[in-house]
Structure 1
Amino acid sequence: MLGKLLFTIDAVGLLLGAPLADYNHTHIFNPRWPPHAKFHCAQTINLSVTLGLATLYYTWRSSFLPKSVPPPIAREREQDSLRTALFTGTIYWIAGLASILYPGTAWVDPEFDPSGLPPQVPIFVGFGSAALLGWMLDRQG
């Protein structure tokens, strides 16, 4: 159950993280951003929310299996669901961390540049790790 709770925390991060971080003056309402950059910002918000919903679905869907499903089949379905939740719960965070590898990218725009560790790094690593740890715990049964 702790594993599913960690998956749920990850899903909440996906559902709320991008909308809270990007639907503001630093991103979607930034007058310096051209319309196409705002399009990709909106795309990222939508992707994060969609992956959050998918992570919740795959985390909890085995809880709604009929009691008539034999235990070995139920366990295999649950494991398959959790593997899928691991993918949907981590791919956004991995993509975010890898985005800095593209030419001309920066963690934040210069006018908002904080000193020290980029704010995305602990968030992306933290939520991605929650999903990974959740999978590891529930995989052990």
Structure 2
Amino acid sequence: MRFTRFAITLSVLLYTIAVPVLEINDTHVFNSDWTPHVRIHEVWQLITNSSLGVLCLWLTWKKGEYLVPSIISLLITGGFLLSYLIKNLYGGSMKYLDGSEKVLFGVNIGVLGFGIAVLLLALGLFLNVRNKQ
């Protein structure tokens, strides 16, 4: 249970705090090259994901629930990874307009962070389900 709680909390911190910190600036929300329509979708996504993250933390820490918060967090982090995998289908990119990209160990930080989160969440979910049998 501790591992699952850790996995949920880490993933929630990534998509509830780290992502907004990285995106509420002139590269995303206040990017003058983005249309107002695109910006509203970005802010909507940030608010929705952060709200779901708060719900996940409440379910995990207050209610002792692990299944639903794990699934919600897997959907959010896995949704990013899927959108990254299919980026060529819709012309997406993790590179900024100047061609730069935030990388760590040669891997895009979003892919690295959410990839680790997905692995930890999946392992926590597996351990939690196995322990209940």
The whole-number CA distance in structure 1 between the counterparts of 2:38 and 2:22 is: 15
The whole-number CA distance in structure 2 between the counterparts of 1:28 and 1:91 is: 23
The whole-number CA distance in structure 1 between the counterparts of 2:10 and 2:107 is: 23
Instruction: Give the match for residue 59 of structure 2.
Output: 58
- For the pair 1:110 / 2:72, whether they are aligned, the reply is no
- 1:121 counterpart (85, 101, 111): 111
TM-score by length of 1: 0.75
Unaligned runs of 5+ in 1: 64-80
On the 8 A contact 1:52/1:89 being kept in 2, the answer is yes
Specify whether residues 59 and 33 from structure 1 end up closer, same or farther in structure 2 by C-alpha distance, changes over 3 A only.
same
Specify whether residues 26 and 49 from structure 1 end up closer, same or farther in structure 2 by C-alpha distance, changes over 3 A only.
same
Specify whether residues 49 and 112 from structure 1 end up closer, same or farther in structure 2 by C-alpha distance, changes over 3 A only.
farther
The whole-number CA distance in structure 2 between the counterparts of 1:25 and 1:52 is: 24
Post-superposition offset of 1:135: 2.1
Q: How many residues align?
A: 124
RMSD: 2.0
Unaligned runs of 5+ in 2: none
Post-superposition offset of 1:138: 2.9
Q: Larger radius of gyration, structure 1 or 2?
A: 1
Identity %: 20
